[in-house]
Structure 1
Amino acid sequence: MEFEDVVADEVALRALYPAVSELAEIKSMAALDAHARAFIARSPFVCIGTQGAGGRADVSPRGDAPGFVEVLGDGLLAIPDRPGNNRLDSLANILANGAVGLLFMVPGFDETLRVNGRAKLVRDAALLERMAVNGRAPRLAVVVEVEEVFLHCAKAFRRSKLWDPEARQDRGEMPSLSKMILDQTRGAPEDEGEMAKIDAGLEEAYAKSMY
Structure 2
Amino acid sequence: MQPDPVLASYRPPSQLVVDKEIDHLDVHCRAFIGLAPFLTLSTADADGWPEISPRGGDPGFVKVLDEHRLVLPDRQGNNRLDSLRKVAVNPRVALLFFVPGVEETLKVFGTAELLAAEALDLDLTEFGRAPRSVMVVTVQRAYLQCAKAVMRSGLWDPASRIDRDALPPFGTMVRDHCRLESPLPDDATIRAELALEL
Contact 2:117–2:131 (Cα < 8 Å) also in 1: no
The DSSP-based 3-state class of the residue aligned with 2:136 is strand
2:181, 2:173 → 1: CA distance? 8
1:205 aligns with 193
Q: Does 1:12 align with 2:19?
A: no
The DSSP-based 3-state class of the residue aligned with 1:131 is coil
Contact 2:62–2:73 (Cα < 8 Å) also in 1: yes
Residues 67, 54 of structure 1: CA spacing in aligned structure 2 closer, same or farther, 3 A cutoff? same
The DSSP-based 3-state class of the residue aligned with 1:117 is strand
Contact 1:128–1:138 (Cα < 8 Å) also in 2: no
Contact 2:117–2:132 (Cα < 8 Å) also in 1: no
1:5 aligns with none
Residues 86, 131 of structure 1: CA spacing in aligned structure 2 closer, same or farther, 3 A cutoff? same
Q: Does 1:64 align with 2:33?
A: no
Give structure 2 stretches of 5+ with no counterpart: none
Contact 1:179–1:188 (Cα < 8 Å) also in 2: no
2:189, 2:16 → 1: CA distance? 51
Contact 1:80–1:128 (Cα < 8 Å) also in 2: no
The DSSP-based 3-state class of the residue aligned with 2:120 is helix
- TM-score, normalising length: structure 2: 0.93
Compute the displacement of 1:70 (Å): 0.1
Contact 2:37–2:99 (Cα < 8 Å) also in 1: yes
Residues 164, 29 of structure 1: CA spacing in aligned structure 2 closer, same or farther, 3 A cutoff? same
Compute the displacement of 1:186 (Å): 2.4
2:110 aligns with 117
Residues 167, 135 of structure 1: CA spacing in aligned structure 2 closer, same or farther, 3 A cutoff? closer
1:134, 1:43 → 2: CA distance? 17
1:77 aligns with 70
Compute the displacement of 1:16 (Å): 1.0
Alignment-mate amino acid for residue 115 of structure 1: V
Residues 133, 62 of structure 1: CA spacing in aligned structure 2 closer, same or farther, 3 A cutoff? same
| Larger CA Rg, structure 1 vs 2 | 1
2:39 aligns with 46
Alignment-mate amino acid for residue 160 of structure 1: S
1:128, 1:46 → 2: CA distance? 24
The DSSP-based 3-state class of the residue aligned with 1:61 is strand
Give structure 1 stretches of 5+ with no counterpart: 1-7
Q: Does 1:86 align with 2:74?
A: no
1:95 aligns with 88
Alignment-mate amino acid for residue 195 of structure 2: A
Runs of 4+ in 1 over 2 A off after TM superposition: 8-14, 126-129, 186-189, 197-201
Supply the RMSD in Å over aligned alpha carbons: 1.8
One of 146, 150, 168 as aligned partner of 1:153: 146
